[in-house]
Structure formats: C-alpha cells, structure tokens
Amino acid sequence: MLEAITFWILAAGAILGAAAVVLPPFGRNPIHAALALVTTLFFLAGLFVMLSASFLAAMQVLVYAGAILVLFIFVIMLLNLRGPELGEARITGVKVASAFAALLLVGKLAKTAWTAGAMPAAPLPAGEEEFGGVHGVAELLFRQFLLPFELVSVLLLVAVIVAVAVARRRFGRGVE
C-alpha cells in the first residue's frame, strides 16, 4: 500500500514536471523549462530507488541533474534570449494535430502494454540489498560489458573534442 502511494506521488510529480517542460505557458522561458526538467529527473530518481536501482538513482542525480542540466542552464544563460528571440507561442492547427498524433501513437502503445496483463516483480535473488547496488552493476559493467564501456569512454572524449571545436570562436578571422 505504501509502495503504491509512493509510486503514484512520484509518477504524478514526474508527469507534471514533464508537462511543464513542454507546455508553452510554463516552458516559454527556457530556464523555467530546465527547472521543470530537473524536477522530473529527481522524481525519476525516486522511481529508480523504488525499482531497487539505488546506484542508478545516485547517478541520475549526479550526472543528469548535476551535469547535463547545468550544461543546459549554462548555455541558456550564455545565449541570454530576450522576448522576441524566444519566438511567439502561437497555437496553430499543425501543432495541435502533431501533438495529438504523438499522444495517440504512445497512447496506443501504452494500451497494448497495459492489457498485456499484470507482471509483478520477480523475487529478488539472494543478497537482496545487493541488487542494483554498486557491486552488482560493476560486476556486469566490467566483465560482460567491458568493450561497450570502453567504447563509451572514447565516445565521451570525442564528444568533448567536438563540442570545443564547434563552439569556440573561429580563429583566423580577424586575427591577421
């Protein structure tokens, strides 16, 4: 019962935060959208804890809320958009239709998943508190998934180099 109440609170918070990111009245200012996204990410971290993925929840807060969203807010402040640059929050027929189509598609998928029948959680293997902890995830990450792990580290290095190369001001122009 307590689990159900916690789930519904966390789910409602996540959905409200996500809606605040998207809906023009709240999300018109990108800073408000970013803060709403942080709220959603925190609620999702809570859901990860409920799914006994404690390490992933910690990473969610550290990496997503702590690093990626800070990057977003940094860029928002760097751009320093003013009223007209934000664009007008017009509601056109195309927008309504495309939003409706997106929600219809996902609603159909959700209906299929819902009617597939309830699947309760499998009993956790022995050493319950270890499931989703640092130890269990690291075992998998450094044995079975070692190659993808190393490839991801190369990818992050490439991404950093690309970001610096793309975002810096061009040399050569105005230097000579």
Partner 1 sequence: MMGPVTLQHYLVLSMVLFGIGLAGIATRRNALIMMMCVELMLNASNLALVAYSRHLGVETGQVMAFFVMALAAAEAAVGLALLLAVFRHLRTVNVDEMRQLRG
Looking at residues 149 to 168 of the shown chain, list those that interact with partner 1 (rule: CB under 8 A).
Answer: 152, 155-156, 158-160, 162-164, 166-167
Under 8 Å between Cβ of 69 and 39: no
**Of the residues 9, 77, 79, 134, which one makes contact with partner 1 according to CB under 8 A:** 79
Instruction: Determine the Cα–Cα distance for residues 114 and 14; give it in Å rounded to an integer.
Output: 19
Residue 127 structure tokens: 């050493």
Characterise 63 by phi-psi region: left (phi > 0), alpha (psi -120 to 50), beta (else): alpha
Does position 24 bind partner 1 by CB under 8 A? yes
**Of the residues 9, 77, 110, 134, which one makes contact with partner 1 according to CB under 8 A:** 110
Q: What minimum distance in Å lies between the beta carbon of 129 and partner 1?
A: 13
Does position 77 bind partner 1 by CB under 8 A? no
Instruction: Determine the Cα–Cα distance for residues 40 and 43; give it in Å rounded to an integer.
Output: 5
Q: What minimum distance in Å lies between the beta carbon of 172 and partner 1?
A: 15
Instruction: Determine the Cα–Cα distance for residues 165 and 146; give it in Å rounded to an integer.
Output: 29
Cα 11 to chain centroid, rounded: 14
Does position 86 bind partner 1 by CB under 8 A? yes
Does position 9 bind partner 1 by CB under 8 A? no
Q: What minimum distance in Å lies between the beta carbon of 78 and partner 1?
A: 7
From 34, 42, 39, 41, select the one nearest 79 (Cα to Cα): 34
Instruction: Determine the Cα–Cα distance for residues 46 and 7; give it in Å rounded to an integer.
Output: 9
**Of the residues 13, 58, 61, 136, which one makes contact with partner 1 according to CB under 8 A:** 136
**Of the residues 9, 75, 77, 134, which one makes contact with partner 1 according to CB under 8 A:** 75
| Alpha helices (H) in 67-126, listed in sequence order | 69-79, 93-115
Q: Which is nearer to partner 1, 4 or 176 (CB)?
A: 4
**Of the residues 50, 77, 134, 150, which one makes contact with partner 1 according to CB under 8 A:** 50
